Chain A
Amino acid sequence: MLQCIFLLSDSGEVILEKQLTGHRVDRSICNWFWDHTNSQPNSYKVVIIIIIITFSLSSIIIFDFSVLCLQQQPVIASPTHYLFQVCREGITFLACTQVEMPPLMAIEFLCRVADVINGYLGGLNEDSIKDNFVIVYELLDEMIDNGFPLTTEPNILQEMIAPPNIVSKVLSVVTGNSSNVSDTLPGSTASCVPWRTADPKYANNEVYVDLVEQMDATINRDGVLVKCEINGEVQVNSHITGLPDLTLSFANPSILDDVRFHPCVRFRPWESNQILSFVPPDGQFKLMNYRVRKLKSTPIYVKPQLTSDGGICRLNVMVGMRNDPGKTVDSVNVQFQLPPCILSADLTSTHGTVNILSNKTCTWSIGRIPKDKAPSMSGTLVLETGLERLHVFPTFQVDFRIMGVALSGLQIDKLDLKTVPYRFYKGFRALTRAGEFEVRS
C-alpha cells in the first residue's frame, strides 16, 4: 500500500512525483531523505560497473554504465513515513507509506518500475526522464493504482503505451498519427495467458536461448577457494506466430541446486521430468534463474603477494589460466582499493595497463590472457611514516568473460515446439562472466 513515488536525481532534485492515494505526501519528505542520506557516516559513493549483454545471432549489444550506489539502507523510517528506496544509475526511486506492508513487495515493485522505465527510455538518466515524463506518468498509472501494484509485465505495458523509440517516431511521421498510445487495449488483459500478446505475426519464426552465467567466488588469504558458485539465467528471445507451446530440456538438469521460473513455466513437468514447458511471452524475457553450488575450480587464478618491511610493501600479482575452458578468456580486469595508510604506489605490469585513480582505486586491465606467458603486476607501495608493516590488506576484485561456455556445465538438450505447425529457427548461446569474484590478500 504505497502512498507516493518520487524519482530523485543524483543531486537530490525531485524529477517526478506520483501521488497514489488521497493522502498527499509532501515533497519535503524528499529533503528529509536527502539530508538523512548525506548525514550517514558511510554515505560515500561506490561506482559499480554493470554490463548487460543481450545477444541474438546478429548483434551483441553491450550496455556499459556506472551505477552510483549510496550506502543507504533500502528501508528507512522517517519521522512521518516509511521510505523504500532503490537506486539505479544515480536515479533514486523513493516510495513512501504510512502503513505496514511487506517490504520486499515495495522493493521488488520499485525494481520493476526501474527496469520498465529503463527499457522504455533505453537507459536511465535525468534528462531522458525529464524529456519523457509523460510516458513515465502513463506507465506508473498502469503499473499501480491506489497504491497496489497491477501490471508490471513489460510485454503488456508496451501494448498499452508505445515506447518512444525511433521506429514509432518514424511511423508517426509517416502515418500522421502522433499518439504514442495504442488505440486498442492489449488482447491479453482478457486472455488466459496474461503475459502474452493475443496474436503476434512474424514472417520468420525464431527462438534464441541464451545461458548467461555469473561466477561468484571467494579465494581467501591462503589461496583456498572458500566459496564458488554460479548464478545463471536462461534468457529467451522468442518471435513466433500464434500461441506456441515450447518445451526445453537440459542434458544434465541434476546439477542445478535451485531454480526460479518466469510465471509462464509449468511446474509439474519440471517437478516430474525436469522439462521446461511454457508458452513464452513475445520478445525478450528471463525464463529461469538457477544456482549451481560447490564448484571446485575457477577458470583463472589470481595470486597476490604482499610483503612489507621497513615502511615499504612489495606487491606482486600473478594472473593465469587454471583450467583451460576451451574458449578464450577476455576482458580480464583486476581491481583493488589501496589501503588508506599507503602514501604512494609504483606499479608496473608485464601485460595490460595499470591505472591508479586519486581515490586510491587501482585497476589493472589485462584484456585477453596471452597463451604463452602469465601476466604479472609488481611494484612497491610506500607506507605512512611510522608504520613498519601493512595491517590492512586489499581485496582484489576480478572481472572476466568467456564467450561460448557455461562454466556450470549446464547443457541444453533440445527445444521443441508444440501446437503450432511452423518450422522455426533455433539458436543457442552461452556466456560466463565473473560476478563477485574476489581474491583476498
Chain B
Amino acid sequence: MMIVDMLTLTSWKSEVSDLKLQLRQLAGSRAPGTDDSKRDLFKKVISNMTIGIDVSSLFGEMVMCSATSDIVLKKMCYLYVGNYAKVNPDLALLTINFLQRDCKDQDPMIRGLALRSLCSLRVANLVEYLVGPLGSGLKDNNSYVRTVAVIGVLKLYHISATTCIDADFPETLKHLMLNDQDTQVVANCLSALQEIWTLESTTSEEAARERENLHSKPYVYYFLNRIKEFSEWAQCLVMELVAKYIPSDNSEIFDIMNLLEDRLQHANGAVVLATTKVFLHLTLSMADVHQQVYERIKAPLLTQVSSGSPEQSYAILSHLHLLVMRAPYIFSSDYKHFYCQYNEPSYVKKLKLEMLTAVANESNTYEIVTELCEYAANVDIPIARESIRAVGKIALQQYDVNAIVDRLLQFLEMEKDYVTSEALVLVKDLLRKYPQWSQDCIAVVGNISSNNVQEPKAKAALIWMLGEYSQDMHDAPYVLESLVENWDEEHSAEVRLHLLTAVMKCFFKRPPETQKALGAALAAGLADFHQDVHDRALFYYRLLQYNVSVAESVVNPPKQAVSVFADTQSSEVKDRIFDEFNSLSVVYQKPSYMFTDKEHRGTLEFSDELGNLSINAETGDSVVPAQRVEENDKDLLLSTTEKDDVRDPGSNGSAYNAPSYNGSVPSATSQPLADLAFSSTGATGQAPAPGLAIDDLLGLDFSVGTATTPSPPPLTLNPKAVLDPGTFQQKWRQLPISLSEEYSLSPLGIASLVTPNALLRHMQSHSIQCIASGGQSPNFKFFFFAQKAEEASIYLVECIINTSSAKSQIKIKADDQSSSQAFSTLFQSALSKFGLP
C-alpha cells in the first residue's frame, strides 16, 4: 500500500516538474502558436489543481507566462493565482504587476476580471496595491467594472477593515448606491454596505446609525421604486430590507403591497418567497388583512410546489408547512395539494402527511382519511406508519369520529404487524379521549392475539387496554396470566411496567380469576433487575399489604377523558420560526438559536472549526422561572429572549446583523418590531390558532411578574427576585448606564471560576440572580440582576471577567439611579468573597 502511494506521489512530482519545465520554455517565447501550447499547459495545471494535487510550486512560472492577450489564458491564470496566492503571499507580489496593468486594459471585461482577481488574492500585506485600482474601478464608465469593484471593496474590507475605511470606500459606495444607473451596481452596493456597516457597528456609532438608516423610509422607497429593474437575486436582497422596514401607517403598508404584488407571479421561487415574507410581516398587526394575505399567497406557493424540481418543492413545502400549521383553516380547501405522490422522497411525504393532518376539518375529513388509508398499504413502511398515526391524530382533533374509528379498526384486521402495532397505539389514545367507543373497539382488540404483537409500544397499548377494560374482555385475566408467565422473555421495561399495572387493575375487577397472575407478576417484578419495575412492584405489594381499598383507589380511580393531548412543539417556538420566515429555520423546523452557533448568527465571522462555546445556563434554582436557554458570550441576551428583535424578521438573507446588545446602540426600528411580534403571540383573540390553548396547558408563561416581598431597609436585596429575560432586555435597552467600574478579583476567585455556574451559585447566595451567562476561559460574561428588598426597583449588571488578567468590568443600570453606588459596593463585596472558603 505504501509503495503504491509512494509511486503515485513520485509520478505527480515528476509531472509537476515536467510542467514547470515546459512553462519555463514558453514563458519568453513569442513564436506563433505559443498561446495554444500555453493553453494546453494551463489546462493541465488547472485540472491538476481541480483534482486536488498541489501545483503551487509552479506559481512563479505561471506568473511569467501570464503576459498574454488571450482572454481564456488570462482567466485560467487568474483562477490559478486566486487559488494559491493566500498560501504563497511572497510570490503573490509577482502577480500584482500584471493584474494592475490589466486593470487599465481597454477591454472592460479584462478590467473587471483583473480587478476581481486582484481583490481575490486576499493577502494582507498587498492591500496597499488594491486601493488605487478599486478607486478607479468604482469610477469606471463601464457598469460591469463597477459591479466588480463594489464587491472588491467588500473583499478588501474583509482583508483589512482599516484600509477600507481609511480610503473612505463606504461613503463612495453609499453615493454609488443612491446614484448609479445600473441596478446591479446598486444591489452590490447594498449587500456590501449592509455587511460592512453591520460589522463596523460594534465599534462605530456612525456605522450603526448608517445601518439603521438603510431601513428608513427614503432608502426603502428608493429601492422599491426601482425594484423592477433589479435582477431577480437583487430583488430578494431588497425584499429582505423591506421586510425590516416599519411603515408609519396602514396606507403605506397597502402601497408597498400593491407595488410588490406582481412579484408573487415571478418565475423565481426565491423572489416569491421573499415577497411572501414581506407581506406576512407587514400585516402582522392587522389580523383581517393578514388573513387575506394568506389567501393571496396560497396560489403562488402551491404553483411553485407543483412546478419546480423536487429540491425546490421541498424548500417551498417546508414554508407552506409552517403556514399551514399557523392557519390550517385557510388551506382546508386545498387539501388535495398535500396528497402524496408515489415517487416523492419520503421527507416530502412526511411534510405532506403533517399538513393533511392539520387541515382536516368537518368538511374534508372523509376524503383525507380515505386518502390516508390508502397510504397504509404503501410499500414504504415508515410512511405507512406515519399515515396511520395521521389518521389517529385527525381522530383526536375531530368531534365526529364515527367513520374514523371504523377505519382504525379495519387497520387492526389488516394482518400486517406494523399496521396492527400503530393502530393499537392509536386505539388506546382514542379510548382515552372517547371512552364511549370502548364497546366497539374492545370487540376488535379482543381478537388480537398478544403473540402477534411484538413492538413494545403496541404491546404496552394492548396490555393497557386489557387492564382498563378487563371487565368487558372475557379472557383478559388469562391473556395477562400468559403474559406474566413469559415475563423473562419480555425485554422492554415499558411493557413490564404496563403489565404490572394492568394485572393490578384486572385484579380489582375480577379478583378470583386474577389472583394467581397478580402473585406471579409481583414476584417477578420484585426480582426484576430494572429499577423502575422493581420499585413499582414493591410499591404495589406494600400498598396491597397496607390496605386493599386504598390500593384500588390508587390504581383504579375513575378517569376523566383526556380532552387535549399536549403538542410537542410549543407555540412560542412556532412563532419564533415564523419570525424567521424564508430562512433555514423553517426547513429545520427549529428557530435559529437551536441550531446555529453564535459566530454565524450575529456577524459574518466564519470559523474553520466550530468550538462548542455554548453553555446551557440554567438560571438559578426554582426561584427564577426555569428557562433553559442556549447561551454564548457574544449575543447573550439576544438568544435568551423569546422575541429577538434584532435578528428578528429579516436576518436571514444576509444574516449580517450584529448583535446590538450593548444598549449604547438603541435601535429605533427594532423595538416596535418586537412589539409587533409580540402582538402575534399575545393576540389570542385575533388569531384563533389552536396552539395557544396548548400553551396554557403546558404552563408556558413568560409573564411572571416581578414579585415583591417586603423585608427590612436600607440597601438589602430581595433574595427571591424574579425577572424574565424579555423584561431584562427591554430594561437594559431603556436604562442609561449609571455606573461603569473595573474591579480586581482575588486569585482564589479566579481559581474557582472554571465554569460560569460556580459564580452563579455564589452570587445567588448574595441575592444577586444571574439571567444569562456564557463564555470560555479566559473570558466570561454574565448578566445579573437584583431587586431592592422593599420596592420593585431593579438593578441590572453586565459583568465581564477575564481570568488571565484577574479583572472584571462591570456596567450597572438601575431603576433608581441614586442607589446604584450602594448597590455597586454590595456587588463588589459579594464578588470579592467568591472563592473564599
Chain A interface (Cβ within 8 Å of chain B)?
1, 3, 14-17, 19, 21-24, 26-27, 42, 46, 48, 69, 71, 73-75, 77, 79-80, 82, 85-87, 98-105, 107-111, 130, 133-134, 137-138, 141, 145-146, 148-152, 160, 178-181, 183-185, 189-190, 192, 194, 216, 218, 220-221, 226-227, 229, 231, 257-263, 267, 270-271, 286, 289-291, 337, 339-340, 389, 391-395, 397, 436, 438, 440
Contacts and interface: CB of A to CB of B under 8 A. Distances in A.
B315 A107 contact: yes
Nearest to A264: B267
A1 B345 CA distance: 27
B608 A133 contact: no
A439 to B, nearest CB: 10
Contact of B116 (A85, A145, A258): A145
22 contacts: A3-B606, A17-B50, A69-B310, A71-B345, A71-B347, A86-B309, A101-B652, A101-B653, A103-B587, A104-B270, A134-B43, A137-B79, A145-B188, A148-B191, A148-B233, A160-B109, A178-B36, A183-B109, A262-B267, A267-B265, A391-B377, A440-B374
A16 B604 CA distance: 26
Contact of B379 (A14, A151, A261, A339): A339
A392 B377 contact: yes
Interface in B277-326: 299-300, 302-304, 306-312, 314-316, 318-319
Contacts of A221: 374
Contact of A150 (B231, B265, B314): B231
Which one of A27, A79, A190 has the highest number of Cβ atoms from chain B below 10 Å of its Cβ?
A190
Interface in B326-382: 336, 339, 341-343, 345-347, 367, 370-371, 374, 377-379
B378 to A, nearest CB: 7
Nearest to B316: A104
A80 B596 contact: no
Contact of B268 (A75, A108, A226, A395): A108
Nearest to A151: B231
Nearest to A228: B336
A340 B384 CA distance: 15
Given A14-B51, A107-B315, A145-B116, 8 more contacts: A98-B606, A100-B651, A111-B312, A134-B43, A192-B229, A218-B339, A227-B336, A263-B267
Q: Is the interface of A mostly helix, strand, loop or mixed?
A: mixed
B339 A340 contact: no
Contacts of B587: 75, 103
Contact of B266 (A103, A138, A263): A263
Contacts of B788: none
- Range of interface residues on B (Cβ < 8 Å): 35 or more
Given A23-B608, A102-B270, A138-B75, A231 B307 contact: yes
B147 to A, nearest CB: 7
Most buried by B among A77, A87, A100, A148: A100
Given A134-B72, A221-B374, A231-B307, A103 B46 contact: no
A426 to B, nearest CB: 23
A102 B303 contact: no
B314 A73 contact: yes
Nearest to B117: A141
B302 A103 contact: no
Given A104-B269, A340-B379, A99 B655 contact: yes
Contacts of A107: 311-312, 315
Interface stretch (B151-159, B438-446, B663-671): B151-159
Nearest to B109: A185
B46 A1 contact: no
A145 B148 contact: yes
Contact of A100 (B303, B310, B652): B652
Contacts of A19: 83
A150 B606 CA distance: 22
Nearest to B75: A138
A75 B315 contact: yes
User: Which interface residue of B79, B302, B346, B584 has the most chain A CB atoms within 10 A?
Assistant: B584
Given A23-B608, A137-B75, A102 B70 contact: no
Q: Which 9 A-B pairs have the closest CB atoms?
A: A267-B262, A100-B655, A74-B311, A23-B606, A149-B233, A258-B299, A105-B270, A395-B342, A104-B315
Contact of B233 (A87, A109, A192, A259): A109
A392 B50 contact: no
A141 B144 CA distance: 13
B584 A181 contact: no
Contacts, number: 271
A267 B259 CA distance: 11
B159 A22 contact: yes
Nearest to A233: B307
Given A137-B75, A261-B265, A291-B306, A101 B231 contact: no
B300 A258 contact: yes
A23 B604 CA distance: 11
Interface in B16-49: 35-36, 39, 43, 46-47
A71 B346 contact: yes
Interface of B: 35-36, 39, 43, 46-47, 50-52, 70-72, 75-76, 79, 83, 86, 107-109, 113, 116, 122, 142-144, 147-148, 151, 154-155, 158-159, 181-182, 184, 188, 191, 229, 231-233, 236-237, 261-262, 265-270, 272-274, 299-300, 302-304, 306-312, 314-316, 318-319, 336, 339, 341-343, 345-347, 367, 370-371, 374, 377-379, 414-416, 419, 582-588, 592, 595-596, 599-601, 604, 606-610, 651-655
A260 B266 contact: yes
A154 B662 CA distance: 47
Nearest to B145: A185
Contacts of B113: 141
Contacts of B310: 69, 74
Contact of A260 (B261, B300, B315, B367): B300
Given A98-B606, A218-B339, A257 B267 contact: no
A259 B266 CA distance: 9
Q: Which residue, B107, B188, B303, B654, has most C-beta atoms of chain A within 10 A?
A: B303
Nearest to A17: B50
A26 B158 CA distance: 19
B309 A392 contact: no
A179 B274 contact: no
B311 to A, nearest CB: 4
A15 B75 CA distance: 19
A130 B44 CA distance: 11
A133 B50 contact: yes
A130 B47 contact: yes
A100 B607 CA distance: 14
A133 B48 CA distance: 12
Given A108-B270, A190-B182, A392 B379 contact: yes
A257 B299 contact: yes
Contacts of B342: 395, 397, 436, 438
A20 B516 CA distance: 75
Given A71-B346, A99-B655, A226-B371, A260 B307 contact: yes
Contact of B610 (A24, A79, A289, A438): A79
A146 B582 CA distance: 21
B343 A397 contact: yes
B592 A100 contact: yes
Nearest to A114: B309
Given A150-B147, A150-B184, A231-B306, A180 B72 contact: yes
Contacts of B273: 102, 104
A271 B377 CA distance: 46
Contact of A226 (B86, B155, B339, B419): B339
A133 B415 CA distance: 56
A151 B143 CA distance: 13
Contact of A74 (B314, B585, B610): B314
Contacts of B274: 102, 105
B268 A229 contact: no
Contacts of B272: 260
Contacts of B345: 42, 69, 71, 73
